[in-house]
């Protein structure tokens, strides 16, 4: 199984400041035949299901704020919130869908400082 490790487990950022979440996979999730990274980011708020934010490591879903961006390739990925707003307070998960079982990171809690 591919192990996904996020860092940090939690972070507190001032409103308007940048938040950065890292995700590392135990093996590459880059599929060489199509040069795509099978890596997604989800946001979960209390009492709600997760919501897909970014797929293929860097493709923002329709309706997702352009303050959120994904980057990285192979085994190292980053979710960046460029200017933290109150509505960004949530848990964030990375997930690989390169192989079964599809595994998630342990989650990163983002709060306002």
Partner 1 sequence: EVQLAESGGGLVQPGGSLRLSCAGSGLSFRSYWMHWVRQAPGKGLVWVSYINSDGTTTRYADSVKGRFTISIDNAKNTLFLQMNSLRAEDTAVYYCIRAADSGPYDIWGQGTMVTVSS
> Which residues contact partner 1 (rule: CB under 8 A)?
38, 40, 42, 48-52, 55-56, 61, 93, 95, 97, 100-107
Q: Whole-number minimum distance, CB 101 to partner 1, in Å?
A: 5
Q: Whole-number minimum distance, CB 84 to partner 1, in Å?
A: 22
Select 75 or 95, whichever has its Cβ closest to partner 1: 95
Select 15 or 44, whichever has its Cβ closest to partner 1: 44
Select 16 or 48, whichever has its Cβ closest to partner 1: 48
Q: Whole-number minimum distance, CB 47 to partner 1, in Å?
A: 9
Q: Whole-number minimum distance, CB 108 to partner 1, in Å?
A: 11
Dihedral of alpha carbons 64, 48, 92, 101, sign: negative
**Residue with tokens 């880059």, as numbered in its chain:** 30
Query: What is the Cα–Cα distance from 55 to 47, expressed in whole angstroms?
Result: 23
């Amino acid at each position: 199984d591919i192990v996904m490790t996020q860092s940090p487990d939690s972070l507190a950022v001032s409103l308007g400041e940048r938040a950065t979440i890292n995700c590392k996979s135990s093996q590459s999730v880059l599929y060489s035949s199509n040069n795509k990274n099978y890596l997604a980011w989800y946001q979960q708020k209390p009492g709600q299901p997760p919501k897909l934010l970014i797929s293929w490591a860097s493709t923002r879903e329709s309706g997702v704020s352009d303050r959120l961006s994904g980057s990285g390739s192979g085994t190292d990925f980053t979710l960046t919130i460029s200017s933290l707003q109150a509505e960004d307070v949530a848990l964030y998960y990375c997930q690989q869908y390169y192989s079964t079982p599809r595994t998630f990171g342990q989650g990163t809690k983002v709060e306002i400082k």
